[in-house]
Amino acid sequence: MKRAIFALSILAMAAGTSATGNTGSEATDDVICNAPDGWQEVAAEEPAFVVFGELHGTREGPAFVGNLACALSSKGERVLLAIEHNAFQDPALQKAWAAPHAQFTIDLGSTGWAGRNDGVGSEAMFAMLVGLHALKERGLPISVVAFNGARDEEQFQRFAHLPGQGGHEAAQAENIAEAAAAADYDRVLVLVGSFHARKDVAQMGPDEVEPMARRLARSGRTISLEMAFGAGSSWGCRLKPGFRPAPGEPLLEGSMDCSNQESQGNADYSRAPFIELGGSLGERSFGEFDGFYWLGPIHGSPPAIPAN
């Protein structure tokens, strides 16, 4: 089976680092990427789902997960990668994923990327999918699914009784679980914002909400990892100074600043990216995780298709 080095170079460019990890691999000489240190401990738990909670809008987050998907599929493991894009656009994503590579790079842009300033539609996310699709075209067993939010009105209404954001979280979990059950996958990797990756009950104003990962755990053993990163920057949106919308009121046009913004980081490890189960980042602001994955210093990734 031929593997394309150029595809993983795309992932490396997205991260600004090498696409290879630290640990050795049992695969043959044509393997072009390796799992990070600590992955074997995760695999030994035999999880049905591995959730990577991220700070949106970095180069490093998508590159880390994309490299892991490559490393696993290069060994013949059947991988499903779940991304936090709109579930109602998943049919378009599946159609694009089935297309030849040259067509995929064109079709992907029409599956909900245009105008996304929140970091989910970043250049790094786009590059991750382009790189993995190139590997899929050369025979690696990689599939994708877009799982964010209700996929249709029926699903929306079925979870409408849940308080606050609960319906959104429930739809996310169900979409991932159903996609995982639709084929015989060895690994299901989920890349999602850190709040959705929590495994405890979250208090959101007057409402208690079960985040996606907590609900997903009902469908199978779930390991959720918190993103650890050094000082740098990430692309995201924040309220501009002076804008304080009342609870429940829509944001006014021009009230948000979407840009590359400085981040102080939440950890400081002088080593290459790795995973640690049971590790703690101190007093967490995002509840309960099973461990963390370290990326090093982060760099902001702007929108792949900016708003006109």
**For the ranges 9-13, 190-194, 220-224, 271-275, which has the lowest average pLDDT?**
9-13
Tens of pLDDT, residue by residue over 80-113, are 999 999 999 999 999 999 999 999 999 999 999 9
Per-residue pLDDT for 17 more than 50?
Answer: no
* Three-class HEC string of 275-299: EEECCCCCCCCCCCCCEEEEEEECC
Structure tokens at 124: 């790094």
Average pLDDT, whole number, for the chain?
87
Q: Which residue has the tokens 């029409």?
A: 110
Mean pLDDT of 264-281: 88
Comparison of pLDDT for 125 and 245, the residue scoring more: 125
Of 5-14, 56-65, 263-272, where does mean pLDDT reach its minimum? Answer: 5-14
pLDDT score for 203? 87
Specify the pTM: 0.88
- Report pLDDT for 54: 97
pLDDT in tens, 44-60: 999 999 999 999 999 99
Dig out the tokens for 234 from the structure. 């990430």
pLDDT (mean) for 119-123: 94
Mean pLDDT of 238-245: 72
Mean pLDDT for 32-36 is 90
Residue 307: the pLDDT is 74
Question: Which pLDDT score is estimated for 24?
Answer: 35
pLDDT the model gives residue 66: 98
Q: Phi and psi (nearest 5°) for 307?
A: -65, 145
The whole-number pLDDT of residue 77 equals 97
Cα–Cα separations (whole angstroms), residue 214 to 161, 196, 211, 218, 222: 18, 9, 6, 7, 8
Q: Structural domain boundaries of the chain?
A: 5-237+255-297
What's the rounded mean pLDDT across residues 22-29? 37
Q: What is the dihedral of CA 22, 78, 290, 120, to 10 degrees?
A: 90
